[in-house]
Structures are given as structure tokens and as C-alpha cells.
Amino acid sequence: EVQLVESGGGLVQPGGSLRLSCAASGFTFSSYEMNWVRQAPGKGLEWVSYISSSGSTIYYADSVKGRFTISRDNAKNSLYLQMNSLRAEDTAVYYCARDLELGVLDYWGQGTLVTVSS
């Protein structure tokens, strides 16, 4: 059974940092591209970042470029999102999602809540 389990969320002050993790199991993690997608409270879905299966190709939404860094460790079946210079508007549930093909997201984790507030 495919499982994606996010962790690392919490309350952080504006300007602070957090590192999110996504532990994958039930599939060959190294064969799949992965994404982070976020959802602000009561709002819709916003794609955040993409990483290729090898980690060699990375993309970011303009809203997080220069502040967030996506990475993966295929040996540990894990995906990461390093978030720096956090702003109030980064407050959201962050989901990791497996990319079935070309951006079709077939499995999602339960999400981890990041709250940026003083």
C-alpha cells in the first residue's frame, strides 16, 4: 500500500525556518517525481515545488522561489522541503504528492500544518 507521511509542521514566527519531511513507503520511491502542494486554511490548492526522480530537476512556484528548497533522499525514501524566511501567507497545510505522470498526482499524504505567526 502506498503511503506518504508528512512531518515537521508547527508554529513558527515570521522570518523563521522549518523543514518538512515526507516519508514514502509501498512503492519504488526513486522511480517517481514528487511534489509539494499547499492549502491555506479554507482556501484552494497551490502547487509549491517539484523534484524529478533523481533530484536533478527542480521547480518552484514564484511565491516561494528563493526561500524554499526541495530535496530528496532516495536511499531513505524521503522527500524534504526546507522553508526559510517564512511569511504569514505561507500558513497552510503542506501535502507531499506522488506524480503518476506529467503532473497527475495520484497519491497524497495527510498533510502537515505550518502556521506562521508572532
Partner 1 sequence: DIVMTQSPDSLAVSLGERATINCKSSQSVLYSSNNKNYLAWYQQKPGQPPKLLIYWASTRESGVPDRFSGSGSGTDFTLTISSLQAEDVAVYYCQQYYSTPLFTFGPGTKVDIK
Contact 19, 10 (CB under 8 A): no
Contact between 105 and partner 1 by CB under 8 A: the answer reads yes
Contact between 111 and partner 1 by CB under 8 A: the answer reads yes
> Of 9 and 111, which CB lies nearer to partner 1 in the complex structure?
111
The correct pick among 95, 112, 114, 116 for binding partner 1 (CB under 8 A) is 95
Contact between 110 and partner 1 by CB under 8 A: the answer reads yes
Radius of gyration (C-alpha) of the chain in whole angstroms? 13
- Three cell numbers written together for 73: 533522499
**DSSP secondary structure, 25-65, as one string:** ESS-GGGSEEEEEEE-TTS-EEEEEEE-SSS--EEE-TTTT
Contact between 56 and partner 1 by CB under 8 A: the answer reads no
The residues that touch partner 1, with contacts defined as CB under 8 A, are: 33, 35, 44-47, 50, 59, 61, 95, 99-100, 102-106, 108-111
